[in-house]
């Protein structure tokens, strides 16, 4: 029996975890899950976290909460730091004090995207903007505190049938427009949040590391945002032409990594898992969206 706290439960990953658990798809030793959001648990308040963990005898924390507004973070660094850095520090400190297993979700944005081969976990970090920097600060704080049996999961290009994301934007624009331009010079791999959620639930019982470990997770394959958009239109049978454009043609306040490919060898070998190919996962997500309608 485990008491598991999920923070950020209204986000894409948190929503997928909730659905998997509620549908009894996963039954982790008859665990009890506590799904929270900013209204039910303020993770920037250490005392509030301590009270919650004591009240419900929390044994595992899955931290899905994050400040993910990449462009907004450039002008709102204080808020981003509170959620992406300080809250992670508090969660790590409480996890260490109470012997709680902590699973924290991070991002490919801790890298600058100048690599020429898939990033491994110990590659040099060098975030381009405030979002990436605050996420990296959170990682470092967690490593400094070093709670036992805890891991950091770096992921990229997350989408889901829940929340707002690239896939939903493409579906909307594909119905509204005859053509649109999508960036072709940013390369990586999407992550279907449901696949990541399944992986987290599967590996919880087998996380045994003494010191904090970092693992990369995304779906398999490599593509650009342009390729991703083309496949969305094709699978959804939308009559919208997607044209490749360069990043410089679509300026944003925050600089994006041009190369975000993550090497997943470590997580696959450590936990003996298989990771789905991105097209298969996209197909599954689009079917889920149809079911939900």
List, by residue number, the catalytic residues: 131
Distance, in Å, from the CA atom of 125 to the CA atom of 140, rounded to the nearest integer, reads 11
Closest by CA position to 201, among listed 37, 66, 14, 43: 14
Distance, in Å, from the CA atom of 153 to the CA atom of 138, rounded to the nearest integer, reads 12
Distance, in Å, from the CA atom of 154 to the CA atom of 22, rounded to the nearest integer, reads 25
Based on the number of CB atoms within 10 Å of its own CB, is 162 exposed (0-12), middle (13-18) or buried (19 or more)? Answer: buried
Token pair listed for 227: 């390729």
Handedness of CA 128, 131, 136, 141 (dihedral sign): positive
Distance, in Å, from the CA atom of 33 to the CA atom of 11, rounded to the nearest integer, reads 16
Q: Are 74 and 253 in contact (CB under 8 A)?
A: yes
């Amino acid at each position: 029996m485990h008491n598991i706290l999920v923070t950020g439960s209204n986000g894409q990953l948190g929503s997928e975890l909730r659905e998997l658990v509620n549908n009894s798809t996963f039954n982790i030793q008859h665990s009890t899950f506590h799904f929270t959001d900013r209204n039910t648990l303020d993770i920037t308040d250490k005392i509030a976290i301590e009270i919650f963990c004591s009240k419900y005898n929390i044994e595992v924390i899955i931290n899905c909460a994050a400040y993910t507004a990449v462009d907004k973070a450039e002008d709102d660094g204080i808020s981003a730091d509170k959620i992406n850095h300080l809250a992670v520090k508090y969660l790590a400190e409480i996890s260490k004090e109470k012997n709680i297993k902590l699973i924290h979700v991070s991002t490919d944005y801790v890298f600058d995207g100048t690599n020429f081969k898939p990033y491994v976990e110990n590659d040099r970090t060098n975030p381009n903007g405030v979002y990436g920097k605050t996420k990296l600060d959170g990682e470092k704080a967690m490593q400094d505190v070093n709670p036992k049996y805890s891991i950091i999961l770096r992921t990229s290009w997350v989408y889901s049938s829940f929340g707002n994301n690239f896939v939903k934007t493409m579906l909307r624009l594909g119905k509204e427009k005859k053509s649109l331009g999508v960036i072709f010079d940013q390369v990586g791999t999407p992550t279907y949040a449901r696949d990541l959620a399944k992986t987290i639930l599967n590996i919880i019982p087998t996380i045994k590391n003494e010191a904090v470990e970092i693992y990369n997770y995304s779906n398999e394959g490599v593509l650009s945002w342009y390729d991703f958009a083309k496949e969305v239109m094709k699978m959804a049978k939308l009559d919208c032409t997607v044209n490749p454009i360069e990043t410089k043609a679509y300026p944003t306040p925050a600089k994006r990594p041009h190369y975000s490919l993550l090497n997943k060898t470590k997580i696959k070998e450590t936990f003996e898992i298989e990771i789905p190919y991105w097209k298969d996962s996209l197909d599954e997500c689009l079917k889920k969206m149809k079911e939900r309608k």
